Homo-oligomer: A and B are copies of this chain.
Amino acid sequence: MGQDVRELLWGDAARPPRGRPAGLSREQIVAEAIAIADAEGLQKVSMKRVAERLDCGVMSLYRHVDGKEQLVALMHDTAIGPAPDLSADRGWREAVAEWARATRAYFLAHPWALPLVTEDRPVGPNEVSWLDQGLGALESTRLSGAERLAAVMVVNGFVRGGVQPEVQESYAGAQWFDFMADPRARERFPNTSALFADGSMSYETPELSFEFGLQVVLDGLERRIGDAA
């Protein structure tokens, strides 16, 4: 796998130099797969569907990608793209906030990526650039390396969790709360029931929820950073 990952990272170096006019490229394959996932979801992405779109045999794809697993890894790394440059002089708090908002924007644009990032998978260069920029945003602080890493992971986890209800149809469509129709459920889950009754769970203001959570995380970091300084 080590070799695979390196190839995926720095790719293209040794591409098959000769043969057909090369009607097919890895970039095309990945782009088509992303288009399918954006339109119909990740589980509709099959080698066959991608090949159909590109008017080629299924096995032709294997000339350019190792297999489905690598294709999916490439989809994510291509779709997320390189991280925004946060090195501008604006203080760690605003830099981290921008990082978090950009991450949220990615998942909103490509909801299929959300379950994907929780799986064990090879990491690509663009994803590493996000980690690197996240760490860079905390460079001006006195946090240790391990603390900076943990801090980036807290922010990352928060973003993923906060974005999930926004991209899930069953939540937006309120099927998630169907169980609350049952009076026994309302009795058994009084706290949830209260939230449901006062409209707190309607999730009509996702951005406000996101910003609330973000400020909580940033406040927590601020205190740690203050202690370290």
Residues on A lying within 8 angstroms of B by beta carbon are 1-2, 5-6, 9-10, 114-115, 117-123, 125, 128-129, 131-133, 135-136, 139, 144-151, 153-154, 156-162, 164-165, 168-171, 175-176, 178-179, 181-182, 184-185, 188-192, 194-195, 198, 200-201, 205, 208-209, 212-213, 215-221, 223-224
Contact = CB atoms under 8 A, between A and B. Distances in A.
Nearest to A154: B213
Contacts of A217: 154, 216-217, 220
18 contacts: A9-B179, A10-B184, A115-B118, A115-B119, A121-B170, A123-B176, A125-B179, A133-B191, A135-B191, A135-B192, A139-B191, A146-B205, A149-B195, A153-B165, A153-B213, A154-B158, A157-B161, A160-B161
B179 A123 contact: yes
A84 to B, nearest CB: 15
A10 B136 CA distance: 50
A35 to B, nearest CB: 21
B209 A146 contact: yes
A184 to B, nearest CB: 7
Number of copies: 2
